[in-house]
A = this chain, B = another copy of it.
């Protein structure tokens, strides 16, 4: 611990801040799926230049919440069954591959800790925190792959997943969420690779089915 820990200057650009803000708004439903992000309108409303909004939206594109169409600008992604499946398939592939590896003790600790925090959040009934801890749990599983690049990739899926998890939270009780994750954790702790893989698959399948029903 240095005497300077935590001391930081505002090391970020306006565009980055705008991207973060817009991201939140989209998650919160301020823009519906398929809506266009009109640059001049946003620029005027927020009192920044259109340039800056364009940069912000380019950054947003990285998170996958928005995509560019030539001459139509940025459009909020619309969830389709195919897209949901594509997203969850990627997740399933990563997590099952991760579950096949033999975890180091500190990795298991991290997953356990994430699970405990998820349980806490569920007890409090704080939806946004549940979603947050849910994502952290899965991130910790992916971390078993020992690949920073894949960790980053999973992080880049996070915003999209957060959107869907928020949707799901409306049809699942916090207890159900905890239960689903507990079986995965147990299998991992026991070192039962096959069962871990099976549970992860089941978890993904259930989620996809529910999402399709809720959104389609």
Contact = CB atoms under 8 A, between A and B. Distances in A.
A147 B93 contact: yes
B59 A145 contact: no
Interface in A85-99: 86-87, 89-90, 93-94, 96-97
A70 interface: yes
15 contacts: A11-B70, A12-B70, A13-B70, A58-B59, A62-B62, A86-B147, A86-B149, A90-B149, A90-B150, A90-B153, A93-B97, A93-B145, A97-B97, A149-B157, A153-B153
Contacts of A148: 86, 89-90
A150 B97 contact: no
Copies of this protein, total = 2
Q: 6 tightest A-B contacts by CB? A: A90-B149, A97-B97, A58-B58, A89-B147, A90-B147, A86-B148
Which of A51, A96, A153, A157: most chain B CB closer than 10 A?
Answer: A153
Interface residues of A, number: 27
Contact of A149 (B62, B70, B89, B146): B89
Contacts of A138: none
A116 interface: no
Contacts of A146: 89
Nearest to A157: B149
A55 interface: yes
Nearest to A58: B58
A188 B36 CA distance: 46
